[in-house]
Chains A and B, each alone.
Chain A
Amino acid sequence: MSVIAPNFKLSEFIKSLLDNAFWGLLLLVLVGVPAVFMILFFIEMPVINGELLTPFLALTWLADPSRILPVVHAFMATDIFRVMAFPGFGFAALLAAATIFVERKMLAKLQLRVGPFYCGKFEGILQLMGDGLKLISKEIIIPAKADKPIFWAAPVLFVAAAASFVAFIPVAPGWVVADVDLGLLGVFAVIGFFPIITILSAWSANSKFPFIGGIRALFQMVSFEIPLILSLLGVVMLTGSLNLSEIAASQSSFPWIVFLPIGAIVFFITMLAELERIPFDLPEAESEIVAGWLTELSGMMYGLVQLGTYLKLYAFAGLFVVLFLGGWNGPMVVPPFPAEILTDGIVMGPVTAKIPGLPLFTQEMLNGALWFVLKTVAVIFFILLPRGVFPRIRIDMLLNLGWTKLIGLAFVNIFIALGLLYAGVLGPGGLQ
């Protein structure tokens, strides 16, 4: 039984919900609707197509799918939708939130624990919502001797940098926020901002543990940036493009991991280090330096940094998918939109609804997004997995790995790519 809420009864919970709904409805009918009508009494309503636009007429129009769907279509073509909802922030934040929950639960199962259990009655499914509410409602404590402007700005900048990283990732053909010609260079530029934000946040807290964590983060990120960039050069050579959409589209028959497995392995290891994940989580080593560079952050500032971290995780996994696993390419598994709905409309007994404006998404887009999400989730799973298995390694071993082994392997990868190109296996006249 639950220890946290011993007097909890599901029947009483449902009764309280129904009570609230009843009182809400009563207040709406007795106060809300008359108030709206009293306000409408003084407003001169426009006449459209010879009809006075009464609230009833407006609601009728709003409920009519043939009038609303074109509006939805037009909205989906706007930049705001792309930035806020689908390939941009909303989609990434949803995947990031799912990642947090799956990570906690999966890690618990790996270590024979239970994990989140009480929130939401079934396997702690509402734990994330509870954590979010807790973070929002907690007080934000600023250390007395902190450098306040930088300390306030750092979490926001962290989320902003992570979101701009997300903007470069193409999800389906044509569905990308920023389809720039030099997308991969933009990604390198954005990755270069994370150590700055980390070290500034760590320094501005004016406390020992954040500063030690910040210095560790700086060492780690700066030294792993070089093998990261070098390991991706092979893909750029084979594709002849820095545009991420073109790189994804170039892998329609073979993903590059078939030809460049060493580059993929090097990129995966550097990815773990850039994301500060076990076995490279020295910047937040919780058993040594409290919480590393996050020690002094509290409340929603900590929440923002966590959101940024998991957005970054999604973006790195998406980058791995786009560069090495073929992006959105995959066999067509989504069925085509039923043609009889377009010609005859939806028949429900005696009622037939003809809806122009369907389908909302093309078959290619749905299929591409499906394959991209499946591959990204698989990569995220492999990023999470070491956390249940490996211990943390020492900082000198980490730097040794980055500077000597990974850079050497990245050069080997570049020479493999050059060899494939000059031998005529790939490129003009070759396989792709």
Chain B
Amino acid sequence: MADAVFLALTVITIGSAIAALELRSLIYGSIALMGTLGGVAGFFFLLDAPFVALFQLAVYVGSIAVLILFTVMLVKRELIFKKIEDKRRKFAGIGLMLVTMVALGAVFLDSGIKTITTDEPATDFRDIGTDFVMYYWPALILMGLILAGSVTGALVLAKREDVENDQRAN
């Protein structure tokens, strides 16, 4: 059962990654990118990490893909890119990528990772949180400072009032 789901997720992820790179329509390309990111979220579900999976969905599919989609919609691609249609180069590129991935996969499988078996239960996200507060607190504080800085920056950007319009009454 899990193997079938894993295979389906693999096909979805790799297929939509290829589509995201190769499709001529930028909108469909970014939809395919959403498929790739959703497939990765599916892998996290299979690995018993629903916390990471749901954050992957909420952040990557919900926010970053929207950002890309929105940017792409406002771009007239004819003005930026010159079309170079070359079927052979395209398929050579896809083939090269697949060969590289298969080679990397073979290296991983050969490294003895399949012989590791474990009966330990999946790590609870609460334990990860406790670890963050107990042992990795400098990293946590650093992340907190970076996030606070970015939020403050966003607030400052949102609050700028250098653009004045006399026709508007506040």
Please list the residues of chain A having a beta carbon within 8 angstroms of any beta carbon in chain B: 147, 150, 180-182, 185-186, 188-189, 191-193, 195-196, 199-200, 203, 215, 218, 222, 225, 394, 399-400, 403-404, 407
Among A150, A196, A225, find the residue whose CB has the most chain B CB atoms closer than 10 A.
Answer: A196
CA distance A196 to B69 in the complex (A): 8
Which residues of B lie under 8 Å from residue A192 when comparing CB positions?
57-58, 61-63, 66
Q: Contacts of A181 on B, CB cut-off 8 Å?
A: 50
15 contacts between A and B (CB under 8 A): A150-B27, A182-B54, A189-B58, A192-B57, A192-B58, A193-B62, A195-B66, A196-B34, A199-B69, A199-B70, A200-B27, A215-B70, A400-B159, A403-B154, A404-B155
Interface of A is mostly: helix
B27 and A203 contact, CB distance less than 8 A: yes
List the 7 closest A-B pairs by CB distance, nearest first: A192-B62, A403-B158, A189-B57, A185-B54, A189-B58, A188-B58, A192-B58
**Assuming the A-B contacts A189-B57, A189-B58, are A196 and B158 also in contact, with contact meaning beta carbons closer than 8 angstroms in the complex?**
no
Additional A-B contacts beyond A181-B50, A192-B57, A192-B62 (9; CB < 8 A): A150-B31, A182-B50, A185-B54, A185-B55, A189-B62, A192-B61, A193-B62, A225-B62, A407-B155
* Nearest A residue (CB) for B67: A222
B159 to chain A, nearest CB (A): 6
Chain B: residues with CB nearer than 8 A to chain A? 27, 31, 34, 50-51, 54-55, 57-58, 61-63, 65-66, 69-70, 73, 151, 154-155, 158-159, 168
Q: In whole angstroms, what is the CA distance A119 to B92 when docked?
A: 66
Chain A residues positioned under 8 Å from B62 (CB to CB): 188-189, 191-193, 195-196, 225
User: What residues on B are CB-neighbors of A218 within 8 Å?
Assistant: 66, 70
Q: Which of B55, B58, B63, B158 has the most CB of A within 10 A?
A: B58
User: Please, how many angstroms separate the alpha-carbon atoms of A186 and B51 in the complex?
Assistant: 9
Chain B binding surface, main DSSP class: helix
State A94–B95 Cα separation when bound (angstroms).
53
Report A-chain residues with C-beta under 8 Å of the C-beta of B66.
Answer: 192, 195-196, 199, 218, 222
Given contacts A203-B27, A218-B66, A403-B154, contact A185 B51 (CB under 8 A): yes
- Distance A195 CA – B68 CA, assembled complex (angstroms): 13
Q: How far is the CB of B151 from chain A (nearest CB, A)?
A: 7
Give B144 Cβ to nearest chain A Cβ, in Å: 13
Closest A residue, CB atoms, query B163 = A396
Please name the residue on chain B nearest to A230 by beta carbon. B151
Residue of A at shortest CB range from B60?
Answer: A192
Task: Tell me the minimal C-beta distance from A235 to chain B in angstroms.
Answer: 17
In the docked arrangement, what's the CA distance between A28 and B132, Å? 74
B125 closest partner in A (C-beta): A182
- Residues in A whose Cβ lies below 8 Å from that of B154: 403
Specify the chain A residue showing the minimal Cβ separation from B70: A218
Given A199-B70, A200-B69, A218-B70, A186 contacting B54 (CB threshold 8 A): yes
Q: A199 near B54 (CB under 8 angstroms)?
A: no
What's the Cα separation between A261 and B72 when bound, in Å? 40
Q: Which residue of B lies closest to A222 (CB)?
A: B66
Chain A residues with CB under 8 Å of B58's CB are 185, 188-189, 192
The docked-state distance in angstroms from the alpha carbon of A46 to that of B102 is: 59
- Inter-chain CA distance A150–B69, complex, in Å, is 14
Smallest CB–CB gap between B42 and chain A, Å?
Answer: 13
B-side contacts of A188, CB under 8 Å: 54, 58, 62
A222 in complex: contacting residue of B50, B63, B151, CB < 8 Å: B63
A196, B50: Cβ atoms closer than 8 Å? no
A189 to B57 Cα, complex, angstroms = 6
CB distance B158 to A400 under 8 Å? yes
A203 near B65: Cβ-Cβ < 8 Å = no
How long is the Cα–Cα vector from A419 to B151 in the complex, in angstroms?
Answer: 22
Q: Evaluate contact between B155 and A403: CB separation under 8 angstroms.
A: yes
Residue of A nearest to B61 (CB): A192
Across-interface contacts of B27 in A (CB, < 8 A): 147, 150, 200, 203
